A and B are shown apart, each in its own frame.
Chain A
Amino acid sequence: MSTPTSVPPQSEIPPARAIILTRRLSDRVFRGVVTTGGFVSLIVLGLIALFLASRSINIFKTFGFGFITEYKWDSGDPDNGIAPVLGIGAMLIGTIVTSVVGLVIALPVSVGMALFLEYYMPIRLKKSLTMVIDLMAAIPSVIFGLWGFFVLMPHAVYWAKLLHKYFGWIPFLDVQAPIFERSPFIAGLVLSIMIIPIVTSISREVFSQVPLDRIQAAYALGATRWTMIKAVVLPFGSSGIAGGAMLGLGRAMGETVAVYLVLNLYYQPNFQVLFSAGGSVASMIVTKFGEAGQLELQGLMAAGLVLFIVTLIINFLSNMIVKRTSRTGN
């Protein structure tokens, strides 16, 4: 294009501007500042791990791996020669039980809601309903706890009794004693309501990326709406749903205040989800924090470290899964 066909004689051209390949000082400062800012997240995450680890190193030295597997939290009694035993085994199992219960309830509902928003709603209603889902994600957890305790629990106890009455022969729906309040089931219900907006919005996002031509092809082949969803949407979105579910699981495991209000902490592993005994690492930290002595405080730091690592791993996995979808999707 810029061949020198129409270039005027040499003498009229101003001397060529020197091309500078190095960045100016202002740019170098700017990029330096921005890069420093960008690395803050790395520093913060590193500091969290470092500080919690350094505060809890004593615990892992004393109790070793038993801290994770032991079912007992006893600060000991030096006067009577009782040695302290600290372990979060029951709490870890309880955390997994309640979050899995929450996820099992939330997953079908969220996927249904996402399908509803994407394929069953006129666009105008869809926008306002999506806003409701976003708003749901912004409700403070203490309000979920308050509502769960005063409004949901009376109903949920009744549902739990019914479940026990008709399905009590299934081992995990059995109870040792007819106490149904503050059970993992109820905590799971509250958690499910808290993670539904997360799972729904991620599933909906994936569903909205389903190529239109595949949907039209399915309809053209005579599919009903459901067979279209089954044949096109769900296979396309499956790993997105899985990633969203994992993200919800991570959120459920770290939830503190709401679970604290609706779960009865019990230092023995309990798999009977309808029975009033469960565990949660995060709630345990809140429960024990006020009255903790020096050693117990270190134990709580160690519990926090374990929770931090577990949620980090789950988040890592869920991000991997979601990322894989968005790549294979195109």
Chain B
Amino acid sequence: MSAQVPQLEARDFSAVSPKKPWKLSPREVAVNASTIVIALILSPIIVQITPLKGKLGLVLTFILVATVGNIVLSFLRQGVQAIGNSIASTFIFLAAGLVLLPVASIFFTVIMRGYHALRINTFTQDMSVAQSDGPFTEGGALHAILGTLMLVLIASLISVPIGILTALYLTEVKGRAEGLIRFLVQAMSGVPSIVAGLFIYSVLIVGAGGHYSGFAGGLSLSILMLPTVARTAEEVLKLIPRDLREAGVALGGTQWRTVVMVVVPAARSGIVTAIILGVARVAGETAPLLLTILGSTATHLNPMDAPTSALPLYTFNLLRTGLNVAIDRAWTGALVLMILVLILFVLARLASGRKK
């Protein structure tokens, strides 16, 4: 047996492509496709001659006909066993469609309806002089964009260091409370955003006699951002090989120098991903901001003194007015927010992809 092994390895496998018995032959593909084509042709006819009506009827009939066609075909080819298999396949493909359809619809609607009221001044003006139901050439979302950036900055300044420290505690220090802290971080990620807002409201605005401000908003967002940063950073730090840590210690480094000069730099891009994911998590939060920054129509860049605005809140407040023009502006706010989240998402992908 062992004598044959080198012989096997010496053979050139590149010439022999492995057989794939599960791969569909062109004939099978054609048969499968024909079921769908037949269903496509049959379903409008059935809708025409039966009392079923509308797009929903059409879709339901199509699914039904395609399933029945599939069942009959698989029964003819492979017998009773295959029937369950083909029904399951249909439903699983249906589930995938049901997930992807709303996503496509959301993107499509936000782009189409948001584009409607998008002007240059969306990015250059705020709403301090413009009426929310005025023409689109007046006013914009500048205050909300700046407000979101400010809130995200404050939230990051607070939760990024703490999040990374938490992750380091879980992966490097591994103290006695490791299990407890891991559990608490998970519990914290489940805290409803409105509760975070209520908490900051009760502490800062009722308790300390403060007022609605960007700082309060940033604090409430940092509560939501901390668990995301901590958990993602923990996952990344776990992937750093033990060898690196041991090498650092073997070279005479203290744990502190090993972590700062070896472990964290090795995990750098992953930590960047953690930060970006945290930012993406909180950039779209609305509920806590309702209770902490209140919203405003003018640009306020001092985080300590006055109510300010943010993109999700801008969208939400315009929507609450119920005026048609304001709702168009709300869609534009949603579009800008969506673009912001998309950029963050792509950045996170790029940062985590570079590592590999």
Complex: how many Å from CA A301 to CA B203? 11
Q: Is the CB of A38 within 8 A of B95?
A: no
Complex: how many Å from CA A40 to CA B166? 8
Query: Shortest distance in angstroms between A87's beta carbon and chain B's nearest beta carbon?
Result: 18
Near B by CB (< 8 A), chain A positions 136-164 give 136, 138-147, 150-152, 158-159, 162
Complex: how many Å from CA A315 to CA B183? 10
Q: Is the CB of A138 within 8 A of B194?
A: no
Q: Is the CB of A41 within 8 A of B255?
A: no
Complex: how many Å from CA A38 to CA B78? 59
Q: Is the CB of A24 within 8 A of B172?
A: no
Taking CB as reference atom, which chain B residue is nearest A300? B198
Q: Interface residue tally of chain B, by bracket?
A: 35 or more
Taking CB as reference atom, which chain A residue is nearest B288? A256
Interface flag for A27 (CB, 8 Å): yes
| Chain A residues within 8 Å of B95, by CB | 108-113, 115-116
Q: Is the CB of B202 within 8 A of A55?
A: yes
Interface flag for A251 (CB, 8 Å): yes
Interface flag for A33 (CB, 8 Å): yes
Taking CB as reference atom, which chain B residue is nearest A193? B102
Q: Is the CB of A26 within 8 A of B254?
A: yes
| Chain B residues within 8 Å of A166, by CB | none
| Chain A residues within 8 Å of B109, by CB | 147, 150-151
| Chain A residues within 8 Å of B181, by CB | 38-39, 41-42
Interface flag for B287 (CB, 8 Å): yes
Interface flag for B170 (CB, 8 Å): yes
Interface flag for A103 (CB, 8 Å): no
The listed residue (A131, A140, A142, A196) touching B349 by CB distance below 8 A is: A131
Q: Is the CB of B99 within 8 A of A40?
A: no
Flag the segment in B7-15, B130-138, B297-305, B329-337 that touches A.
Answer: B329-337
Q: Is the CB of A256 within 8 A of B286?
A: yes
Near A by CB (< 8 A), chain B positions 192-222 give 192-196, 198-199, 202-203, 206-207
| Chain B residues within 8 Å of A113, by CB | 95-96, 99
Interface flag for A226 (CB, 8 Å): yes
Interface flag for A51 (CB, 8 Å): yes
Complex: how many Å from CA A318 to CA B197? 24
Q: Is the CB of B316 within 8 A of A151?
A: no
Q: Is the CB of B106 within 8 A of A143?
A: yes
Q: Is the CB of A142 within 8 A of B81?
A: no
A-contact 0/1 string along B318-343, CB 8 Å cutoff? 01000000000011001001100110
Most buried by A among B168, B198, B226: B198
Taking CB as reference atom, which chain B residue is nearest A310? B192
Chain B interface SS verdict (over half): helix
Flag the segment in A5-13, A60-68, A169-177, A282-290 that touches B.
Answer: A282-290
Query: Shortest distance in angstroms between B119's beta carbon and chain A's nearest beta carbon?
Result: 20
Q: Is the CB of A226 within 8 A of B206?
A: no
Q: Is the CB of A304 within 8 A of B198?
A: yes
| Chain B residues within 8 Å of A134, by CB | 345
Query: Shortest distance in angstroms between B138's beta carbon and chain A's nearest beta carbon?
Result: 22
Taking CB as reference atom, which chain B residue is nearest A251? B190
Interface flag for A133 (CB, 8 Å): yes
Q: Is the CB of A315 within 8 A of B81?
A: no
- A42-B184 in contact given A142-B286, A286-B290 (Cβ < 8 Å): yes
Query: Shortest distance in angstroms between B64's beta carbon and chain A's nearest beta carbon?
Result: 15
Complex: how many Å from CA A289 to CA B206? 13
| Chain A residues within 8 Å of B334, by CB | 140, 142-143, 146
Q: Is the CB of B105 within 8 A of A138?
A: no
| Chain B residues within 8 Å of A255, by CB | 192
Interface flag for A216 (CB, 8 Å): no
Interface flag for A57 (CB, 8 Å): no
Interface flag for B165 (CB, 8 Å): yes
Complex: how many Å from CA A316 to CA B344? 30
The listed residue (B165, B187, B188) touching A38 by CB distance below 8 A is: B165
Q: Is the CB of A31 within 8 A of B349?
A: no
Complex: how many Å from CA A134 to CA B202? 33
Complex: how many Å from CA A261 to CA B168? 40
Across the A-B interface, give the 10 residue pairs with the lowest CB-CB distance, nearest first.
Answer: A140-B284, A37-B165, A112-B95, A254-B192, A38-B169, A315-B190, A30-B256, A226-B88, A256-B287, A224-B85
A contacts, CB < 8 Å to B: 23-24, 26-27, 29-31, 33-42, 44-45, 47-48, 51-52, 55, 108-113, 115-117, 120, 129, 131-136, 138-147, 150-152, 158-159, 162, 193, 196, 200, 224-227, 229, 247, 250-251, 253-257, 261, 282, 285-286, 289, 297, 300-301, 304, 307-308, 311-312, 314-316, 319
In the complex, 12 of the A-B residue pairs with CB atoms within 8 angstroms, ordered by the A residue number, are: A37-B168, A38-B170, A38-B175, A48-B191, A51-B207, A135-B345, A136-B99, A141-B287, A143-B334, A224-B81, A257-B316, A285-B194
B contacts, CB < 8 Å to A: 54, 56, 78, 81-82, 84-85, 87-89, 91-96, 98-100, 102-103, 105-106, 109-110, 113, 161-162, 164-166, 168-170, 172-173, 175, 177, 180-181, 183-196, 198-199, 202-203, 206-207, 223, 226-227, 230, 254-257, 259, 280-281, 283-287, 290-291, 312, 315-316, 319, 330-331, 334, 337-338, 341-342, 344-345, 349
